[in-house]
Amino acid sequence: MALGPLIRPEWPAPPRVQALVTTRAAGDMARPSGLEAFLPGPPVWLRQVHGTRVVDADAGPALPEADAAVARRPGTVCAVRMADCMPVLLCDAQGTVVAAAHAGWRGLAAGVIEAAIEAMKTAPANLVAWLGPAIGPDSYEVGDDVRVAFADYESAFRPTRPGHWLLDLYAVAQVRLARAGVTRVHGGGYCTYRESERFFSYRRDGARERMAALVWLA
């Protein structure tokens, strides 16, 4: 659901779980300003490196090098930045733990979603996931190196020209979540590349600007 410059994820999260995603209208989240008015406290930002490290956001905002964060304390805001890579938000059905993961193709292939699930320390079948704005399956052309990295996800690829493919990041994430035991998956259907008035896109513009996906417990 859109709230002006913000999107509130539509997913069956318990009332304690709150989440927001910024759009282009909210400005550049690489230099966040004004966002705090919507949050219970400052976000725990990460130095994202397309890896699989998960940090405990409750430990404080030390700008750790990581691509996912988990929180159990009310008011701790997990945050990831993106401009084509996919944000994945997670919570448990009881509203006791939340997580945010930054999942581009490298992070997906390396297992960032699975790492976040493991760090939440609850049964995967008890989790709910939401897939946020990312480059869509009709716009994300990749080479053979990416095709090899996802050799067992043939249905997520469509050939374009020799040695190149269109990749559906959402489809890959859905399969990986299912294989990890998470069956309640929502969101998807966005395209940061095509929705130019709504989202920043590195692939489209070479943009340095970033949106943000945030999740916390009230």
**CATH number for position 46:** 3.60.140.10
Q: What burial class does residue 145 get, using C-beta atoms within 10 Å of its C-beta: 0-12 exposed, 13-18 middle, 19+ buried? A: exposed
Number of domains, the chain: 1
* Contacts of 152 by beta carbon, 8 Å cutoff, 6+ apart: none
Q: Please check whether residue 174 lies inside any domain of the structure.
A: no
Print pLDDT tens along the chain (218 aa). 555 689 999 999 999 999 999 999 998 886 666 787 899 999 999 999 999 999 999 998 789 999 999 999 999 999 999 999 999 999 999 999 999 999 999 999 999 999 999 999 999 999 999 999 999 999 999 999 999 999 999 999 999 999 999 999 999 999 999 999 999 999 999 999 999 999 999 999 997 899 999 999 99
Q: Please check whether residue 206 lies inside any domain of the structure.
A: yes
Q: Please check whether residue 57 lies inside any domain of the structure.
A: yes
Strand bridging mode 54-56 / 184-187:
unpaired
Containing structural domain, residue 111: 2-135+182-217
Q: Please check whether residue 21 lies inside any domain of the structure.
A: yes
- Using an 8 Å Cβ cutoff, are 116 and 71 in contact? no
Residue-level pLDDT at 28 = 87
Q: Please check whether residue 53 lies inside any domain of the structure.
A: yes
Q: Please check whether residue 114 lies inside any domain of the structure.
A: yes
Q: Please check whether residue 151 lies inside any domain of the structure.
A: no
d(CA 205, CA 3): 25
Q: Cβ of 75: how many Cβ atoms within 10 Å?
A: 12
The reported pTM is: 0.96
- Provide the edge-to-edge strand list for the sheet that holds 68-71: 54-56, 68-71, 98-103, 86-92, 127-131, 184-187
Q: Please check whether residue 146 lies inside any domain of the structure.
A: no
